[in-house]
Amino acid sequence: MADIVEALVRAPEAPAGSVINVGGGHRVTLLEALDLLADVAGRAPVLRMKGPEPGDARDTWADLRRAHEYLGYAPRVGLRDGLAAEWDWIRELET
């Protein structure tokens, strides 16, 4: 079962009204994610770089403490493997 699906299945175990972040547990830049996706897809994206927009977050990542405490959640699927699985699924839809 994929990490996010597992967290959703376990979500009813959390205290009512809890806000819980789910993710990989470490920071990944957009460019790092795009590099991984390019590797998985076998083609490089065409990027048009612009400056930040008002309100853009410079850095984000999921704080998994509540997910671990309330749900026993810990990520098991790495970003590259997750992107590869998603890419394969999308390719199957196209056929």
User: pLDDT (tens digit, 9 = 90+) per residue, 1-44?
Assistant: 689 899 999 999 999 999 999 998 888 888 899 999 999 999 99
82 within 8 A of 1, measured Cβ to Cβ: no
Domain count, the chain: 1
> Is residue 28 one of the residues assigned to a domain?
yes
Neighbouring CB atoms inside 10 A of 67's CB total: 24
> Is residue 26 one of the residues assigned to a domain?
yes
Domain that holds residue 26: 3-13+21-45+61-94
| pLDDT of 83 higher than 80 | yes
> Is residue 9 one of the residues assigned to a domain?
yes
> Is residue 53 one of the residues assigned to a domain?
no
* Backbone angles phi and psi of 60, in degrees to 5: -140, 150
Nearest to 25 by CA among 57, 56, 68: 68
> Is residue 81 one of the residues assigned to a domain?
yes
> Is residue 67 one of the residues assigned to a domain?
yes
> Is residue 89 one of the residues assigned to a domain?
yes
Measure the CA–CA gap between 75 and 64, rounded to whole angstroms.
9
> Is residue 78 one of the residues assigned to a domain?
yes
Measure the CA–CA gap between 7 and 63, rounded to whole angstroms.
14
Q: Please state the pTM of the whole predicted model.
A: 0.76
